[in-house]
Amino acid sequence: EAGVTQFPSHSVIEKGQTVTLRCDPISGHDNLYWYRRVMGKEIKFLLHFVKESKQDESGMPNNRFLAERTGGTYSTLKVQPAELEDSGVYFCASSLWSSGNTIYFGEGSWLTVV
Amino acid sequence: QKEVEQDPGPLSVPEGAIVSLNCTYSNSAFQYFMWYRQYSRKGPELLMYTYSSGNKEDGRFTAQVDKSSKYISLFIRDSQPSDSATYLCAMSETSYDKVIFGPGTSLSVIP
């Protein structure tokens, strides 16, 4: 069974540009989460989808970040415009509805804003 | 004060040693406690998952939770070089709530 897959694995963009990260959760997982780790900090929650609905977006840092989950399948996280402090690794995770916070992480999308 | 505190290490031990990793937390509402292992440039991998206070054992790994002290531990017996990784404690209030992570402890097991 395929795990959580994320694309791109690495991205280097200039300040002010736009980047879109994609996540494909494990098949059948209704819960989809985005987390990120910026340099020197702990992994922090960004938001939680249940199917296509945003269950909790309390961790989104500002309105430059937009997450969508089309049809309750894959999800995208867009950063527009990117700032230097957005550099870090963005993790996607998913879980079964019945398993709650037994979540499985992808390998992350490493973003560098220069 | 951070919600979850964890000694970042690095911690270096010889192969075969018993390793003790610990976290403290401030939110008494946390009920679900997890330990993740993260290898370099990889995503976190769930190792142990416990509910409320008590002990849970899985092979060489034992997780302990003491809610009265707001303190959780992970013990690794007979440590192996393949255990070299960053260990992250994590916790949540409910089984469907967001997970709060500690900063992680870097462990090296020397052959």
In this predicted structure, the answer to whether residue B69 has a pLDDT above a threshold of 80 is yes
Q: What is the mean pLDDT of residues B58-87?
A: 96
Mean pLDDT (chain A) is 94
Report the amino acid identity of residue A106: G
B2 versus B108: which is more confidently predicted? B108
Specify the 3-state DSSP secondary structure of A52: coil
Give me the pLDDT at residue A98, please.
79
Question: Lowest-pLDDT range, A15-24, A96-105, B27-36, B50-59?
Answer: A96-105
List beta partners, residue B76.
B19, B61
CB atoms within 10 A of CB B38: 21
List beta partners, residue B19.
B76
Give me the pLDDT at residue A1, please.
66
Residue A112 DSSP class: E
> Which phi and psi (to 5°) does residue B83 adopt?
-80, -5
Q: Does B104 reach chain A within 8 Å, measured CB to CB? A: yes
Question: Lowest-pLDDT range, A27-31, A54-58, A88-92, A97-101?
Answer: A97-101
Please say whether the beta carbons of B79 and B109 come within 8 A.
Answer: yes
Mutation target vs A (from B6, B86, B96; most A CBs, 10 A cutoff): B96
pLDDT tier for residue A44 given thresholds of 50, 70 and 90: very high
Percent of chain A with pLDDT over 90: 86
Residue A26 DSSP class: P
B96 versus A54: which is more confidently predicted? A54
Give me the pLDDT at residue B14, please.
97
Q: A45 vs chain B: nearest CA distance in angstroms? A: 7
CA A46 – CA B22 distance, rounded (Å): 25
Residues 6+ apart with CB under 8 A from A62: none
Tokens 């969508």 label which residue?
Answer: A68
CB atoms within 10 A of CB B105: 21
Contact check, Cβ <8 Å, A43/B4: no
pLDDT tier for residue B93 given thresholds of 50, 70 and 90: very high
Q: What is the mean pLDDT of residues A24-29?
A: 94
The pLDDT tens digits of the residues spanning A60-113 come to 999 999 999 988 899 999 999 999 999 999 999 999 887 777 899 999 999 999
Q: Does A98 reach chain B within 8 Å, measured CB to CB? A: no
Name the residue among A41, A45, A101 with its Cβ closest to that of B96. A101
Task: Name the residue among B22, B2, B16 with its Cα closest to residue B89.
Answer: B22
Specify the 3-state DSSP secondary structure of B73: strand
Q: A34 vs chain B: nearest CA distance in angstroms? A: 10
Q: Does B42 reach chain A within 8 Å, measured CB to CB? A: yes
Give me the pLDDT at residue A71, please.
86
Q: Does B1 reach chain A within 8 Å, measured CB to CB? A: no
Pairing of strands A19-24, B4-6: unpaired
